[in-house]
Amino acid sequence: MDLAVLREDMVDSLAHETKAILEDEAVGVAMRDVPRHEFLDDERLAYADREHERLGTRVLAPSTVARLLQALEARDGDSVLVVGVGVGYTAAVVAELVGETNVHAVDIARPVVYEARENLSRAGYDGVLVDCRDGAYGLPEYAPFDRILVEAAAIDPPRALLEQLSDDGRLVFPRGGHRQRLEATDADGSRETFGAVSFDPLLVEGEQSGALERNRTAREDLEFARRRAESRRGWEQDWIEWDG
């Protein structure tokens, strides 16, 4: 079984007119270079266009990875943050696009972070930084980022991530609850919507992948409350001393 041949076949099938998913040549070249089998337990299934599960997290199908990265439009030299690193495969493909030392990744689940680090090292991408963080707060120590990829769904992109974009940056994430669509939001506020997707919700602090319940809106409710407080004017402000 020649894994290199299987990898070529995988990419060719994504570009073929029967699927017509992969159109970006740079993304195609990157996917041809990354040994996907290093990120999965079963080499035989590594190059099939299907999802897998590992440590309670979903390993995206190659076609989904291609869609995400084409929307991201990352290019050589861009500083990229991947939120929800999973097993590390997407981060590896991004490393091929922009250079491994330009890729930073976070995940809220510590076992997943360890897995991603080991996989990336074994595959030859030691330069990718992977940290255990609540992804909604980003990685401010390394901001700003030219591109941010969120591999989890949210109703709105977390404000902290938008604030960590460079002036001409782009953030890609699945927008919505049960019904989701892939969306790219630029730093100037413009949006571009792509096709339907299905992702797990962005986990909040204290939750772990595989939990029975996930409160997707807990963090978002806090953000909305902050926005409402900051938008108050006049009599709505508690600190105004009217008798003075």
> DSSP labels for 62-128?
HHHHHHHHHHHT--TT--EEEES-TTSHHHHHHHHHH-GGGEEEEES-HHHHHHHHHHHHHHT-TTS
Amino acid at 220: E
In a domain? residue 12:
yes
In a domain? residue 184:
yes
In a domain? residue 237:
no
Residue 30, pLDDT above cutoff 80: yes
For 109-144, how does the pLDDT look when each residue is reduced to its tens digit (9 = 90+)? 999 999 999 999 999 999 999 999 999 999 999 999
For 48-103, how does the pLDDT look when each residue is reduced to its tens digit (9 = 90+)? 999 988 887 889 999 999 999 999 999 999 999 999 999 999 999 999 999 999 99
Q: What is the mean pLDDT of residues 159-176?
A: 96
**Regarding predicted confidence, which is higher, 38 or 225?**
38
In a domain? residue 238:
no
Residue 239, pLDDT above cutoff 60: no
DSSP, collapsed to helix, strand or coil, labels residue 226 as helix
Domain CATH number, residue 45? 3.40.50.150
Distance CA 195, CA 11 (A): 20
Q: How many domains does the chain have?
A: 1
Backbone angles phi, psi at 106, to 5 degrees: -135, 155
- The mean of the pLDDT values for the chain is 87
| pLDDT for the residue numbered 33 | 96
What is the span of the domain harbouring residue 138? 3-230
In a domain? residue 103:
yes
Distance CA 203, CA 212 (A): 12
Backbone angles phi, psi at 126, to 5 degrees: -65, -25
